[in-house]
Structure 1
């Protein structure tokens, strides 16, 4: 792969990159920081926004329900429900999350992650190791290495015992596990726990992806962990934030949030398509005018990669226009929000009291509820609990500009 070294030139000022709240100096989320060993250019795409956990307050989840990217939406919901189950396991009362519908496969992911953590916690408790269970815990990953407030995130789960610290990273879905980057996240979370809980003789870092029956663990000493932070991550982070960046396309691009706007990746993809299927390509007499199976497979892979960038590109363009920018040939439209119940627990109590819960317990939206119990019962009993989420701006072609969007 070709490498490109350049000074950082953002495609737009940070304040134009979507609906984000600025936090001042540029910071790197742990997931983005773990890309630096492969491509320091990933730092170019670090957003200036507030850090947030998967356990958002219930009122904030109205916006999540309107997310068009199903993978992101499902991932947030799965992580929130895992955290909720672990909080309840500890006897911590949390806000009800009944409004989150999950498929049977997603629920299986949740159950496996929760049961795995519970079994380890109870085993540590049984041997008298005084475990402390953390879920969605905020950590300042490089503070122990002398770089506070630069790499801050939320650890999916950790168990702090007398002689060990266990860190868990949960992954949903069925795609491949990017091991180097994922275990890098675990290392950063483990480093972030040291200022608060101190060192331990042993750090056990575990990646769990139930959708692929995947669980892999590595064990490090505190010295090995801190050495990795100081000798590997600190120089990379300092250099990247000072503008020393090399853009190196590769397999890691699949999990880089900056891929749709990365000139190095886009240039490489266009060059690959043009060399194989561009207007200058010729068909020799020895070649069939039809593509063969291998060529179809290659073209499918390329088009899938391009299609996967459409959603984040559109989201960036929406944020850019919202903050006064322009995208030639495009304008903003607005999609109305979805109907939701603002108090699922109250709705359930009402339906149970009237003998209607059996008909409605599998239904999560007011529209489905209305069809199940009938409009008269719906209007009389639960319609007042329904509300419409804010919806969101979306990108539309501007048909008033002739030909510019073609």
Structure 2
């Protein structure tokens, strides 16, 4: 890292909640995360993040193979490699190559940049540093393509700050041209390809009016805290006061009638709105307080204990086998793999071909969700109600 410069990642909490940067450790922690190619993980990589890194490395290798820049994709040292990873990275590469052919067929000179690091100056010694999954550029077009390997929430390319940052870095490849800019997120696990477009002028306005001011606030530790779904990625989430106030507001929002001994549906609806967030917050607080107590801190009114009975386990597998034989029993049992395990082993395509007709799904009980949920509404009949009584 160069002296006197501050580096921010192309995605992360700072774009949504500028003060969280210093709350979580500031520039040093972010610099450590970037230097280890760990995104915004603050130098600590979870199993899911490690799996995501392997997805991206395999996808990049496969693209280089298809483009003739590499002989073979490396898989020997991938801890999470399986048929599912192989299939989904192929799907990603298929879409990237489709875009390449589309650009090539239009008669343009096509160049492809894969996992290329960039260093984007913003202002006052603040830089954005990272690497984009894939950039395809021609004299008249710039395609920013990003792979999302997770099975969690669907991610949209529309006004996606991460992809817009990649596009800013990609503009350097186009000199002074005014290319058609297309932003694409490929999410194979959710069978989703999301695409948005933006002009060079719109991108530069976003940089000047949003990205640069937010970067300044982030480094200075100013701006406002913003509570939302992104809080689950924040290392400071257990002790963030803004989050605590938001959680408490969920309870206070219940418009209960003080003259009634019971809550009405309106009261319950207000509480349900924040129930999942509130539970996650309480779990975070409990874990953080336990860790503090383990480190020697005193939590007023609480103490550490050792539960009376922990999980039992055998100390020697071979000794247990020998004892079981003497007792005249078989210590092993055979268990059929679950549908999910088989799908991971053979990949979705072969799973559908060989096992789809052998699967039955249990009927699910109705679940109450917000009206914004895209799934169709279920309306129970009187018989449904009577059967549940």
Tell me the TM-score normalised to structure 1 length: 0.57
> Cα distance, 1:55 vs. partner?
10
> Cα distance, 1:116 vs. partner?
0.5
5+ unaligned residues in a row in structure 1: which ranges?
Answer: 1-20, 57-63, 277-281, 331-361, 363-406
Q: 1:90 aligns with which of 47, 64, 67?
A: 67
Q: 1:209 aligns with which of 187, 194, 197?
A: 187
Aligned to 2:92: 113
Aligned to 1:187: 164
* Kept after mapping to 1: 8 A contact 2:187/2:193: yes
- Provide the aligned length of Structure 1 versus Structure 2: 283
> Cα distance, 1:295 vs. partner?
7.0
Judging changes above 3 Å, is the alpha-carbon distance between structure 1 residues 25 and 309 closer, same or farther for their aligned structure 2 residues? Answer: farther
Secondary structure in 2 matching 1:102: coil
- Runs (4+) off by over 4 Å: 21-25, 52-56, 145-149, 255-258, 272-276, 292-301, 305-311
Instruction: Decide which moves more: 154-163 or 124-133.
Output: 124-133
Structure 2 CA distance for aligned equivalents of residues 177 and 188 of structure 1: 20
Q: 2:297 aligns with which of 323, 328, 332?
A: 328
Structure 1 CA distance for aligned equivalents of residues 269 and 210 of structure 2: 43
Confirm or deny that 1:73 pairs with 2:50: yes
Confirm or deny that 1:252 pairs with 2:230: yes
Q: Which has the higher contact order (CA 8 A, sep 6+)?
A: 1
Q: 2:11 aligns with which of 27, 31, 39?
A: 31
* Kept after mapping to 1: 8 A contact 2:157/2:163: no
Structure 1 CA distance for aligned equivalents of residues 216 and 87 of structure 2: 41
Tell me the TM-score normalised to structure 2 length: 0.59
Q: 1:172 aligns with which of 127, 149, 155?
A: 149
* Kept after mapping to 2: 8 A contact 1:52/1:154: no
* Kept after mapping to 2: 8 A contact 1:165/1:200: no
* Kept after mapping to 2: 8 A contact 1:147/1:234: no
Aligned to 2:115: 136
> Cα distance, 1:53 vs. partner?
7.4
Confirm or deny that 1:157 pairs with 2:134: yes
Secondary structure in 2 matching 1:96: coil
Structure 1 CA distance for aligned equivalents of residues 102 and 36 of structure 2: 27
Confirm or deny that 1:49 pairs with 2:53: no
Judging changes above 3 Å, is the alpha-carbon distance between structure 1 residues 306 and 118 closer, same or farther for their aligned structure 2 residues? Answer: farther
CA RMSD of aligned residues (A): 4.2
> Cα distance, 1:245 vs. partner?
2.2
Structure 1 segment 318-357 matched on structure 2, within 5 A: 328=297
> Cα distance, 1:82 vs. partner?
1.0
Aligned to 1:60: none
Confirm or deny that 1:303 pairs with 2:279: yes
Aligned to 1:223: 201
Judging changes above 3 Å, is the alpha-carbon distance between structure 1 residues 96 and 118 closer, same or farther for their aligned structure 2 residues? Answer: same
Structure 2 CA distance for aligned equivalents of residues 274 and 128 of structure 1: 61
Aligned to 2:350: none
Structure 2 CA distance for aligned equivalents of residues 70 and 310 of structure 1: 22
Judging changes above 3 Å, is the alpha-carbon distance between structure 1 residues 26 and 147 closer, same or farther for their aligned structure 2 residues? Answer: closer
Secondary structure in 2 matching 1:82: helix
Structure 1 CA distance for aligned equivalents of residues 128 and 208 of structure 2: 13
Judging changes above 3 Å, is the alpha-carbon distance between structure 1 residues 138 and 309 closer, same or farther for their aligned structure 2 residues? Answer: farther
Structure 2 CA distance for aligned equivalents of residues 328 and 264 of structure 1: 23
> Cα distance, 1:306 vs. partner?
4.8
Judging changes above 3 Å, is the alpha-carbon distance between structure 1 residues 103 and 304 closer, same or farther for their aligned structure 2 residues? Answer: farther
> Cα distance, 1:229 vs. partner?
0.6
